[in-house]
């Protein structure tokens, strides 16, 4: 059975019961993993609720920003959730976005690469039951430990990455890389960077999972979905990392035009600047069969774990999400 994940976005403000309905549906359809980003609410609390309501589906943070929590707290949380889920937890980590880290949490956004490397190393050692004394560029720990034994000392750690440096770091230190809305061309480039990082660390690149969010809407009328997809694409360009990322995906001209429109507060012009090529590379829209075909095309390029990322079309987001999730089976 082909591997498949699904991302749910708490930013849509589904009720707790509605979120559980979507999680249960994904488990029923035999998706491998539910991924949940840190959003308006605490993702770890939400995943705890999911863990107690499910039996088989894996539960991943997609992602936890490393500037929001210390490595010791991350290890404690990962260990606790692995216990609660009976060994189904995946710790997805990312640097987050500079404005959100600095303004939302009041934390300086410094040395993200060093912080990621040290975070992963410390978390792994703590989950293995070690007492950790550590002298790094970012963290200095003295005799730290968890004080309990997790279900698994090798809880999987994925690194969320957009740019080449972080992707290569994932190849060096992580169990998997979690990409986001990559074009076909950039997906191949990312896999090459992952290979470089793995080989630099003496690892087999085939041992590292490759997951990627795929913005997806299964609909009867694609013409109703494409305007929503364009808004989703333009909205991400409010974040500086995505401005660079879209350019790396082959859409430098569109990225510049959209960014300029957003900077002057013209959301309509930003959406209008999303080209046909851009929308079709960064979103999957159509009938169930058309969307399956597009997902399999990306799998053929080396994507090991496609992560269906529904976006709402129409006036009933819950029904829209259910239609997209129901169209696939892991």
Residue 92's CATH number: 3.20.20.30
Residues 6+ apart with CB under 8 A from 99: 239, 240
CA geometry: angle 42, 44, 48, nearest 5 deg: 125
Q: Please determine, for residue 103, whether its predicted confidence score (pLDDT) is greater than 70.
A: no
pLDDT in tens, 225-281: 999 999 999 999 998 889 999 999 999 999 999 999 999 999 999 999 999 999 999
Q: Hey, what are 41's tokens?
A: 């609410």
Q: Hey, what are 281's tokens?
A: 């590379």
Residue 162's pLDDT band, with cuts at 50, 70 and 90, is: very high
Element (H, E) at 327: none
Answer yes or no: do 234 and 204 share one domain. no
pLDDT at 283: 98
Residue 97's pLDDT band, with cuts at 50, 70 and 90, is: low
Answer yes or no: do 292 and 253 share one domain. no
Cis omega (within 30 of 0) on the bond before 53?
A: no
Decide the pairing of beta strands 157-160 and 176-180. parallel
Answer yes or no: do 119 and 268 share one domain. no
pLDDT at 12: 73
Task: Please return the burial class of 142, using the count of CB atoms within 10 Å of its CB with bins 0-12, 13-18 and 19+.
Answer: exposed
Answer yes or no: do 120 and 200 share one domain. yes
3-state secondary structure of 218: strand
Q: Looking at residues 106-135, what average pLDDT do you find?
A: 94
Residues 6+ apart with CB under 8 A from 10: 19, 36, 37, 39, 40, 41, 43, 46
Answer yes or no: do 39 and 52 share one domain. yes
Residues 6+ apart with CB under 8 A from 324: 216, 217, 218, 291, 308, 310
pLDDT at 255: 96
Q: State the Cα torsion 96-98-100-103 to the nearest 10°.
A: 150
Answer yes or no: do 227 and 315 share one domain. no
Answer yes or no: do 292 and 187 share one domain. yes
Alpha carbon 143 to its chain centroid, in Å, reads 32
Q: Quick check: 138 and 95 in contact, CB under 8 A?
A: no
Give the count of beta carbons closer than 10 Å to the beta carbon of residue 200: 12
Answer yes or no: do 93 and 165 share one domain. yes
Q: Looking at residues 141-152, what average pLDDT do you find?
A: 90
CA geometry: angle 143, 149, 155, nearest 5 deg: 95
pLDDT in tens, 167-208: 999 999 999 999 999 999 999 999 999 999 999 999 999 999
Q: Looking at residues 56-79, what average pLDDT do you find?
A: 96
Q: State the Cα torsion 11-14-16-22 to the nearest 10°.
A: -100
Work out the angle between the directed axes of helices 43-53 and 16-28 (0-180°, nearest 10).
Answer: 50
Backbone torsion region of residue 202, taken as left when φ is above 0, otherwise alpha when ψ lies between -120 and 50, otherwise beta: left
CA–CA distance, 67 with 97 (Å, rounded to integer)? 10
pLDDT at 1: 64
Q: Which residues pair with 218 in a beta bridge?
A: 286
Q: Looking at residues 293-299, what average pLDDT do you find?
A: 97
CA-nearest of 2, 18, 63, 71 to 305 is 2
Answer yes or no: do 155 and 292 share one domain. yes
Q: What's the domain range around 295?
A: 5-217+287-326
> In the chain, how many domains are there?
2
Answer yes or no: do 43 and 125 share one domain. yes
Answer yes or no: do 154 and 300 share one domain. yes
Work out the angle between the directed axes of helices 164-173 and 184-200 (0-180°, nearest 10).
Answer: 50
CA–CA distance, 326 with 123 (Å, rounded to integer)? 36
Look-up of token digits 């300029």: 260
Q: Looking at residues 107-125, what average pLDDT do you find?
A: 94
Answer yes or no: do 155 and 258 share one domain. no
CA–CA distance, 25 with 323 (Å, rounded to integer)? 10
CA–CA distance, 271 with 182 (Å, rounded to integer)? 19
pTM: 0.96
Give the count of beta carbons closer than 10 Å to the beta carbon of residue 138: 18
CA–CA distance, 30 with 45 (Å, rounded to integer)? 23
CA-nearest of 30, 23, 92 to 52 is 23
Q: What percent of the chain has pLDDT over 90?
A: 87
Q: Please determine, for residue 11, whether its predicted confidence score (pLDDT) is greater than 80.
A: no
Q: Looking at residues 71-84, what average pLDDT do you find?
A: 96
């Amino acid at each position: 059975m082909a591997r498949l994940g699904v991302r749910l976005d708490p930013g849509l403000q589904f009720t707790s019961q509605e979120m559980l309905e979507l999680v249960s549906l994904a488990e029923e359809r035999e998706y491998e993993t539910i991924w949940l980003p840190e959003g308006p609410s605490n993702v770890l609390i939400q995943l705890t609720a999911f863990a107690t309501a499910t039996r088989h589906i894996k539960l991943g943070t997609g992602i936890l920003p490393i500037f929001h929590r210390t490595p010791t707290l991350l290890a404690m949380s990962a260990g606790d959730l692995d216990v609660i889920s009976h060994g189904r937890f995946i710790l997805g980590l990312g640097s987050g976005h500079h404005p959100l880290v600095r303004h939302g949490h009041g934390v300086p956004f410094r040395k993200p690469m060093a912080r990621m490397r040290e975070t992963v190393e410390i978390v792994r050692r703590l989950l293995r039951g070690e007492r950790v004394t550590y002298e790094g560029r970012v963290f200095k720990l003295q005799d730290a430990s968890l004080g309990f034994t997790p279900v698994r000392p090798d809880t999987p750690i994925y690194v969320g990455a957009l740019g080449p440096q972080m992707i290569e770091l994932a190849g060096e230190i992580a169990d998997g890389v979690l990409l986001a809305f990559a074009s076909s061309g950039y997906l191949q480039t990312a896999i090459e960077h992952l290979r470089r990082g793995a080989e630099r660390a003496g690892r087999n690149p085939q041992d590292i999972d490759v997951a990627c969010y795929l913005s997806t809407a299964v609909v009867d009328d694609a013409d109703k979905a494409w305007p929503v997809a364009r808004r989703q694409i333009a909205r991400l360009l409010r974040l500086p990392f995505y401005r660079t990322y879209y350019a790396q995906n082959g859409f430098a001209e569109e990225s510049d035009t959209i960014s300029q429109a957003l900077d002057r507060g013209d959301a309509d012009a930003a959406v209008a600047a999303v080209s046909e090529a851009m929308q079709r590379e960064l979103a999957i829209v159509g009938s169930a069969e058309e969307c399956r075909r597009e997902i399999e095309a990306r799998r053929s390029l080396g994507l090991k774990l496609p992560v269906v990322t529904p976006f709402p079309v129409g006036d009933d987001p819950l029904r829209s999400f259910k239609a997209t999730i129901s169209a696939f089976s892991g």
